[in-house]
Structure 1
């Protein structure tokens, strides 16, 4: 076994797999650039760190549940005059996540709420944050199942491990009293601890009717809108416009 093969085996044994896998190319780059020993050491460390970061981001992307195909690069701001590209771009430093703030997109169906929420979620994953996407229906069913098993607190604590929870389409379907209680428990746990992106077709004035009682709606609204960025979206439905003849 050559010295290079021995070194590759040793790096892998140390779990420096990126260096071990690419050592031949890294040595060649060092020789071609006539790197000093210290510069070569930096090259190895930078390569390993970059590969680990890439692997971690890909793992977070798979775990996020974010649908593919809805990226900010594909959002058509020409037809959504109630929010600008500049406004969205100001969110992409992700200070709202670092500051445990929320984003709320309110508007009728088809105006781009989900697209924006998913697109921001993808950008957050690429920046190293742990993100989870769930429709409100899926989330409610998830929490109800956990509650039936006596594991509601455990499941909420698992959800709280994500830096950002994207909840899509709240308000489209009615909720049972137990579902409302479970959702309140989740929001209460995340309050000032994690961030939420929420899309809804219900203005806050309609939440009392949706939750069937202001005693439930008001505490949820209070915790969601405190430290939040609220965007009221309007305009013509994207989906309807795509079906209209030119």
Structure 2
């Protein structure tokens, strides 16, 4: 075994796989540029750090389970005039995540709520935050299964490992009393600890009816609204317009 092979093996043993894989090229760059020992040591560290950051971001993106690759750059602000590009861009320093605040997008179907939620989630992933996307239906089912198994607390702990949870289409389908209680437990777990993005077709004044005037409605609304940025989106359905003009 050559010295190069032995050195690469040592790096792999130290779990520095990026250095091990690129060692011949890194050595060639060092020789071509007459690098000092310190500069070469920094180059090795930079290579490994870059590789680990890339793998971490790729892993975060896979775990996020975004349903589509919707980007803010493709959002049509000319059609959706009830929110401005400046308002959305102001969210992209992610102070709302750092400050454990929520975003709520309210409006009828097809006006861009989900596009905005996914677009912001994409940017958060690019910035290194851990994100999870769930439709309200998926989330309710997951919580119900966990509750039936006696593992609701464990499930909530798993969800709060994410910096940001996107709950899409809350309010489109009725929920059982147990589902409403489970949702309250989730919102309570996230309150002032992690951030939520909610998209819903229900104005808060209609949430009492949606929750069947259950006692859980008020505490859910209270925890969602507190520390929240709320956007009311109006206009006709963008999807419907595309169909009628296509």
1:245 CA drift (Å): 2.6
- Could you tell me which residue of structure 2 aligns to residue 90 of structure 1? 90
The residue number in structure 1 matching 2:20 is: 20
The equivalences for 1:74-153 within 5 A come to 74-153=74-153
Give the TM-score taking structure 2 as reference length. Answer: 0.97
Q: 2:165 maps to what in 1? A: 165
Q: Give distance in 1, aligned partners of 2:27 and 2:101.
A: 46
Q: Distance in 1 between matches of 2:33 and 2:106?
A: 55
Quote the Cα distance in structure 1 between the aligned partners of 2:78 and 2:18. Answer: 44
C-alpha separation in 1, matches of 2:19 and 2:84: 44
Aligned ranges 1:164-183 → 2 under 5 Å: 164-183=164-183
Could you tell me which residue of structure 2 aligns to residue 211 of structure 1? 211
**Unaligned stretches of 5+ residues in structure 1:** none
**Which whole-Å CA distance do the structure 1 matches of 2:34 and 2:236 have between them?**
61
Per the normalisation by structure 1, the TM-score is 0.97
**CA displacement at 1:43 relative to structure 2:** 0.8
**Unaligned runs of at least 5 residues, structure 2:** none
For residues 214 and 81 of structure 1, what CA distance do their matches in structure 2 show?
35
Q: Kindly provide the CA deviation profile for residues 183-242 of structure 1, in whole angstroms up to 9, marking residues without a partner as x.
A: 000100110000000000000000000001152211101101111111111112111011
Q: Structure 1 stretch 202-211 or stretch 86-95: which is displaced more? A: 86-95
Partner-residue secondary structure (3-state), 1:79: coil
Residue by residue over 1:132-175, the C-alpha shift from the partner in whole angstroms, topping out at 9 and shown as x without a partner, is 10000000010001111111111111111111000000000011
CA distance in 1, matches of 2:40, 2:166: 42
In the TM superposition, what is the alpha-carbon distance from 1:71 to its structure 2 partner? 1.4
Distance 1:115 1:184 in 2: 25
**Residue 67, structure 1, aligned to residue 67, structure 2:** yes
| Runs of 4+ more than 3 Å apart | none
Residue pairs, 1:224-235, within 5 angstroms: 224-235=224-235
* SS of the residue 1:134 aligns to: strand
Going from structure 1 to structure 2, the CA distance change for 1:68 and 1:26 (only over 3 Å counts) comes to farther
